[in-house]
Amino acid sequence: MSVYEAVIGLELHVELATATKLFCSCPNEFGAEPNTNVCPVCLGLPGSLPVLNARAVELALRLAEALDFDVPDRSIFARKNYFYPDMPKDFQISQYESPILSDGRLEVDGATVGIERAHLEEDTGKTVHMGGGGRIHDAEHSLVDYNRAGVPLMEIVSRPDIRSAEQARAYVTELRGVLKAIGLSDVKMEEGSMRVDANVSVREAGAAEFGTKVEIKNMNSLRSLGRAIEHEIERQSAMLDAGERIIQETRHWNEDDGTTHGMRTKEGSSDYRYFPEPDLTPVAPTDEQRAAVRGALPELPAQQRSRLVALGVPEAAARTIVEAELTTYTTSATVSTATTADVANWVQGEVLARVNAEDADPEEKLPAARLGELVDLVAEGTISRAQAKEVFDQVWGTSKVPREVVKDQGLAQVSDEGELAKVIDDIITANPKESDAYRAGDDKARGKLQGFFIGQAMKATGGKANGQLLKKLLDDRLG
């Protein structure tokens, strides 16, 4: 058996976050009643003419800045001709030889993934197959909803620079973060606003030539993307081991049985008879347009992570926080660098759990400054971490202020050394056997007995004793 290396390229389709469709002023919205967001242009009625949405061009220029794309002086649209009822015109307006962006790149965990091109095109309508179990092959007829026809899409095509399923997932995760940060799309894979197809081939490790590539479709989550690629790598490796030839084809991922299966061969590229769209003028971005976009570009995920790490947030926490779009919340809650790591811990723990469970804006539920105050209460020794959790539960979603909750409920921990010394002394006197064992014990025995003494002290103080101080006092006496 040979050792194989996978070569993977990914094609992403993302729906742009515009108010209207790409070539007409129908609303671009998800979930409307079928065929209510339609007009003569997106229905392809005779005499109607498309006009390009300015916002789509602006979003493309933002992407150019974010992924270091070249912006050609001019790009044109093309008609992709095919007969399928998901497009009423019997063609889809796309870009072919002359995309709006070319030759970009994205850093993914220290490696650079090249991006060949990104182009604008219109989405197709939604088809439901009736009869025969809802499958196109056995259907009796189909029903079509054109609300999605004409919705703006950006297709982003990577170079075959990806070498594993894991790296493919990391690339999509990073790219999704960028697309979200620049406001290009809401990139919800489950709702179909981001779709990913993978081109996968394998070759003997070290070979210079690429193997025959297979395109896999129909992955609707990052997890299924990874699984589908892994499965395809195994399938192709096994075929090569058995001396079989890989056929260039499109395969469909089946989530239920975890395999890919071949689809019917589609019309080849030349059969689409691409030709320049005569009804749309070329796009020629001006220097002014590009400068305006450059000046207003939001901070990208990689920059957000570096900023958080520079503030003292651990790398893994920074990744979680940026992905959850809680960067601003975290930095607003951070008053001093001494407590940054603590703040990050709260954000990626309690705050993120609440945000996910309640689909809430954290700033509305607990203003960042109040989270900072809560962290400070622990840092300065006023309350314990366990008490802080209690306070958090009380201030989240209410207008209560942490410091006042602590005061009102007498939650403050006892940090008076004299008072706690007396408590410890009493416990030592009352438990001579444990005290002797502590004096004589090794670290392990002491660790266990420490729990006993601290527990007793907590009981005596109603859980309010400062744990750190108790440990110190115990050590002073028995250590």
Partner 1 sequence: MEHVARLARLSLTDDEAERMVGELSGILEHVEDLAAIDLDGVPPTAHPLPLVNVLRADEVGPTLDREEVLAAAPDAADGRFRVPRILDAP
Given the rule CB under 8 A, which residues bind partner 1?
18-20, 24-27, 33-40, 43, 51-57, 74, 76, 81, 83-85, 98, 127-129, 136-137, 139-146, 264, 267, 271, 273, 276, 278, 280-284, 286
At closest approach, how far in Å is the CB of 32 from partner 1?
Answer: 10
Q: From 300, 316, 296, select the one nearest 106 (Cα to Cα).
A: 300
Q: From 317, 318, 323, 326, select the one nearest 169 (Cα to Cα).
A: 323
Q: What are phi and psi of 445, to 5 degrees?
A: -65, -40
By beta-carbon proximity to partner 1, the closer residue of 53 and 435 is 53
DSSP, res 366: S
DSSP, res 73: S
CB 121 within 8 A of CB 95: yes
The helix/strand/coil state of 398 is coil
By beta-carbon proximity to partner 1, the closer residue of 250 and 394 is 250
At closest approach, how far in Å is the CB of 300 from partner 1?
Answer: 23
Vertex 227 angle, CA 359 and 193, to 5°: 40
At closest approach, how far in Å is the CB of 52 from partner 1?
Answer: 5
By beta-carbon proximity to partner 1, the closer residue of 146 and 392 is 146
Q: From 304, 292, 303, 325, select the one nearest 64 (Cα to Cα).
A: 292
CB 80 within 8 A of CB 123: no
At closest approach, how far in Å is the CB of 12 from partner 1?
Answer: 22
By beta-carbon proximity to partner 1, the closer residue of 78 and 344 is 78
By beta-carbon proximity to partner 1, the closer residue of 19 and 292 is 19
- Residue matched to tokens 């007009």: 39
By beta-carbon proximity to partner 1, the closer residue of 145 and 155 is 145
Sign of CA dihedral 418, 420, 423, 428: negative
Question: Cα separations (Å) of 164 from 4, 176, 395?
Answer: 11, 18, 45
Question: Cα separations (Å) of 11 from 146, 159, 242, 260?
Answer: 24, 9, 30, 18
Gap between the Cα atoms of 305 and 320, Å rounded: 9
Please give the structure tokens belonging to residue 169: 């997932």
At closest approach, how far in Å is the CB of 215 from partner 1?
Answer: 19
By beta-carbon proximity to partner 1, the closer residue of 27 and 455 is 27
By beta-carbon proximity to partner 1, the closer residue of 26 and 378 is 26
At closest approach, how far in Å is the CB of 146 from partner 1?
Answer: 7
